[in-house]
A and B are shown apart, each in its own frame.
Chain A
Amino acid sequence: GAGVSQSPSNKVTEKGKDVELRCDPISGHTALYWYRQSLGQGLEFLIYFQGNSAPDKSGLPSDRFSAERTGGSVSTLTIQRTQQEDSAVYLCASSLGHYRTDTQYFGPGTRLTVL
């Protein structure tokens, strides 16, 4: 079946502009995660959605970052007033449930470059 998809695959923007990154999880997966990898860094958690529960936003680095998940499916990560330090690969993952043993399936990522 279809895996996790993300769009766009690459995004180049100017400092100060807003960007939206999209994630389509695997159908039927109730949990959705956003991570990012900045240059020279490991994968870093950003935000997590589980069903109808309030999202875990504890990894968002600033209030310029927000995310929503509509209808329990598609998610959009929005970065307002982008800064050069926001340049990274943004990865989305989904899992069937929210247990710590559930495999998280990743999309191919969006490479964001802020000039």
Chain B
Amino acid sequence: ILNVEQSPQSLHVQEGDSTNFTCSFPSSNFYALHWYRWETAKSPEALFVMTLNGDEKKKGRISATLNTKEGYSYLYIKGSQPEDSATYLCASPETSGSRLTFGEGTQLTVNP
């Protein structure tokens, strides 16, 4: 079973601040990395699927980078808004199939 770790566990920022958090994963046998946003009482929402070393993806004010050689991905949020408050999850598929192993998430709170 893969070991996917996220840090920090929680984060409180002020509206307008930019922030970032980390997902680390085994660099050997890497295949893909998935990022999700999970707001309370809603479905986890897919943000990105990343596959290539050096990949950078962007969706509005959220972007992510990938380093497969060292086994980490960063998620950045520019100009945080209260509606960005959520738990951000990263996940990697097992080498034996497509089931995902998730990190424990980073809980972001953006204060107005």
Instruction: Report A's interface with B, CB cutoff 8 A.
Output: 3-4, 31, 33, 35, 41-45, 48, 50, 56, 59, 91, 95, 98-109
Report B-chain residues with C-beta under 8 Å of the C-beta of A42.
89, 102-105
* 29 chain-A/chain-B pairs, Cβ below 8 angstroms: A3-B43, A35-B100, A41-B104, A42-B102, A42-B103, A42-B104, A43-B89, A45-B100, A45-B101, A50-B98, A56-B97, A56-B99, A98-B97, A98-B98, A99-B98, A100-B31, A100-B93, A100-B97, A100-B98, A101-B32, A101-B49, A102-B98, A103-B34, A103-B49, A104-B34, A105-B43, A106-B43, A106-B44, A108-B43
Q: Which residues of B contact A (CB under 8 A)?
A: 31-32, 34, 36, 41-46, 49, 51, 89, 91, 93, 97-105
**Besides A42-B89, A43-B89, A43-B91, 16 other A-B contacts (C-beta < 8 A):** A3-B43, A33-B100, A42-B104, A43-B100, A45-B99, A45-B100, A48-B98, A50-B98, A91-B44, A98-B98, A100-B93, A100-B97, A101-B49, A104-B46, A104-B100, A108-B42
10 smallest A-B Cβ distances: which pairs? A100-B93, A43-B102, A42-B104, A106-B44, A106-B43, A100-B31, A45-B99, A103-B46, A108-B43, A42-B102
Measured CA separation A43–B43 after assembly (Å): 13
Q: Which residue of B lies closest to A6 (CB)?
A: B43
Q: How far is the CA of A17 from the CA of B102 in the complex (A)?
A: 30
Distance to closest chain A CB from B88 (angstroms): 12
- The reply to whether A48 and B43 contact each other, CB–CB distance below 8 Å, is no
Q: Is there an interface contact between B43 and A4, defined as CB atoms closer than 8 Å? A: yes
- Cα–Cα distance between A99 and B93 once the two chains are bound (Å): 9
CB distance from A78 to the nearest CB of B (A): 20
The winner among A33, A100, A105 for most chain B CB atoms within 10 A is A100
